[in-house]
A and B are shown apart, each in its own frame.
Chain A
Amino acid sequence: MDFSFSEDQMLLQQTVRDFLEGECTVEHVRSMWDTDTARSPEFWGKLAEIGIPGLLVSEDHGGLGMSEVDMVLVLEETGRAGTAEPVIHTACVAAQLLQESGNDAVAKEWLPKIAEGSAIVAVQHDQSPFVSDAHVADLLILNSGDAVHAVPRADVQLTEQANNDPAKRLSSVEWTPRAGTLLADGDAARALQAAAFDRGVFAAAAQLLGVCQQLSEMTVLYATQRKQFGVPIGSFQAVKHMLAEEKVQTEYGRSHVYRAAHSVANAAPSRAVDVSMAKRAMAENAVSLAKTALQVHGALGYTWEQDLHVWMRRAWSLDTAWGNTAFHRARVSAAVIDGAFPAIPFGYEVPAA
């Protein structure tokens, strides 16, 4: 029993943080908003150079062969930096789904491309009729009932859906399942879908943790500099207490997120409820922090020009992504109260072996 990260894991986190502070500046993030695709192959290539898209890809396929327990700190940093690229879809969900699919040909073709940064893979799931980053995807993982397909973009019709986060592009996808694109069906497909969904939920929760960190830090900085009544507004107890209450929620949400990383990496029986607890905690915290941060920034925060809303919009869009809070609340209740699937208290009830 050791609920902590290794030095290597923390070093990886620091490396990614330093890299993103240099390359994924808020100017970079904002500059992408007005482009056609909101995506830059050049930037994705740089992410690939430090190994992010291939982090979970096995070494055989040119990746780093790491696990979600390594990935969680990286995801946190991408949230903190406001990185909107499809790290969740491609680097987490698709990479593992293709590895778990048992379809060697598809895995062999696509995993090395994911790892080297030359392919974007978008993933559809049942909690949304839309697919994020489908417009730049080389391959789409699509569900058709109990079947999972891997479909090249040329074979689908996209309708872009304008949304509240200028860093994100959403599309409706029209396509026709064909035998040639089938990745798995029946029980195997259901297991893949469930694992992929839980992995996406976990990854969104981890990014939200970084978003919360950033919203809190920006607001503390602002409250320290902005003076009214001759003193920094951050010296007012009302302001202190609002931010302290958010911090309490962030830190306990963090514990859920780290546990969820472990549960996903180990396909724990409690995986579904663990990721839902994490997502719910972090999404609620992020949406609340967005309001608190805005309140403390005053009218300045209510402008398009101020950078605060870069993260407010990340908070909102990650809140809806991979099942919104209402969905995860219901899932946690179903597990904990109805026993619909395993909710296992940590430590407390380890069966006497």
Chain B
Amino acid sequence: MELDFTSDQVAFRKEARSWLEANVPSEPLESFDSKEGFDQHCEWEKKLQGGGWAMVPWPVEYGGRGADLLHWLVFEEEYYRAGAPGRVNQNGIFLLGPTIMEYGTDEQKKRFLPKMASSEEVWAQGWSEPNAGSDMANIQATAVLEGDEYVINGQKTWASRGAYAHWLFGMFRTEPDSKRHNGLTFILCPLDAPGVTVRPIDKLSGKPAFAEVFFDNARVKAENRLGPAGEGWSVAMATAGFERGLMLRSPARFQNTARKLVELYRETEAQGEFIDSRVRDEVARCWADSEAYTLNTYQTVSRLLSGGKIGAEASLNKIFWSELDIKMHELALELLGARGELLPSAPAAKGVGEWLDGYIFALAGPIYAGANEVQKNIIAERILGLPRK
């Protein structure tokens, strides 16, 4: 156990810090759930990539920096510390990227990863369907191989940033009459292909952040299949742990929110507002929980660096960070009192509207990336060993 950073890691931290200080936009960008904000965020990603910071742990030839996951954690700490914009291509860089790295052919890596790193191509995740939510193995959209093309029919839904994204990765049933996890294939599909219709859906924030995607004899080149035909489920699951267990929500994000929450508490107290003692205790607890999440992530990364894997314990993470995120925002709204309901655009909001936005966003945490109740089933059966039936 060695909990100090090496001089190389400290130097890397300083380099990241100074680049971010010089380059992070001084005014917050529009939300990437609007077209204007989406474009602003793509611009920012291009700049980030130009500085070599878009995907720190990827090989240089694919647009990364060739660093390890510890450097990535350090980078994330600096990224949140600098108040840098959210990652518009998170489904690409954090979810699909690692899958392509593991299952992609050399051509696919060369074709997709650099443009993903620069966000020239932004990705949507097409897993959910109207009848395949928690029960993802109930996927019904089909893809039939004709010559060197897949002909796709069916519907995907809830694709985040699907309204503006360029590509979608999804699972489709390629074996007629196959059941459940069998006969699914992982396919990469351009959203401007003929036969593809994208219909934006406004989410709880009122912004068109998701989309439904309809496929009507859409044709996709067979070379866009990722991994073996019929084994899409294992391909997708191989890196699902990365989503829930590591990359999607790096600890710095929560440490940063916890730090702001403590500041909000201190300001509220300094203004002489009444604060009940439960709130004081809960704020400190959130700070401690964000530390626990961070420590746990460093343990995970240390394990990965010595050849370990992320397994079912990713489900523990998913529950912990999603509940923590909600708790922190609830406390902030409580501290804000009457100002808690102000939108960021209200003249009196003066920055506090971000807490409301954050709260609305945090509420989705226990639903996406696998509902928390489903994660609890996984913990009970695969970690604790309780009987399935």
Contact = CB atoms under 8 A, between A and B. Distances in A.
Interface of A: 1-6, 69, 216, 220, 223-224, 231-232, 234-235, 237, 239-241, 243-245, 247-248, 251-253, 255-256, 258-259, 261-262, 277, 280-281, 329, 332-333, 335-337, 343, 345-350, 352-353
B2 to A, nearest CB: 5
Q: Give the secondary structure class of B's interface.
A: helix
B320 interface: yes
Given A337-B284, A346-B295, A5 B389 contact: no
Contacts of B5: 1, 347, 350
Contacts of B389: 231, 235
Contacts of B256: 348
Interface string B1-24: 111111001100110010000000
B298 A346 contact: yes
B379 A248 contact: yes
A243 B376 CA distance: 9
Contact of B4 (A1, A244, A256): A1
Given A5-B1, A346-B295, A235 B388 contact: yes
B316 to A, nearest CB: 5
A337 B384 contact: no
Given A248-B320, A281-B292, A345 B259 contact: yes
Interface string B59-83: 0000000000010011001000100
A34 to B, nearest CB: 34
Given A231-B389, A245-B376, A262-B3, A3 B284 contact: no
Interface of B: 1-6, 9-10, 13-14, 17, 70, 73-74, 77, 81, 251-252, 255-256, 259, 262, 265-266, 280-281, 283-285, 287-296, 298-299, 301-303, 305-306, 313, 316, 319-320, 373, 375-377, 379-381, 383-389
B72 to A, nearest CB: 12
Given A244-B384, A259-B295, A332-B288, 12 more contacts: A3-B299, A4-B1, A4-B299, A235-B388, A240-B377, A240-B386, A252-B316, A337-B265, A337-B283, A337-B284, A350-B13, A353-B10
A256 B287 CA distance: 12
A261 B265 CA distance: 30
Given A224-B386, A281-B288, A347-B74, A240 B381 contact: yes
Contacts of A345: 255, 259, 290-291, 294
A117 to B, nearest CB: 28
**CB-CB nearest 7 A-B residue pairs:** A240-B380, A255-B295, A244-B379, A244-B376, A333-B284, A252-B292, A234-B386
A2 B291 contact: no
27 contacts: A1-B2, A1-B4, A3-B1, A223-B386, A232-B387, A240-B380, A241-B373, A241-B377, A244-B319, A244-B375, A244-B380, A244-B383, A248-B379, A251-B296, A252-B289, A252-B316, A256-B288, A256-B292, A258-B299, A280-B288, A332-B288, A336-B288, A337-B266, A337-B284, A347-B77, A350-B10, A350-B13
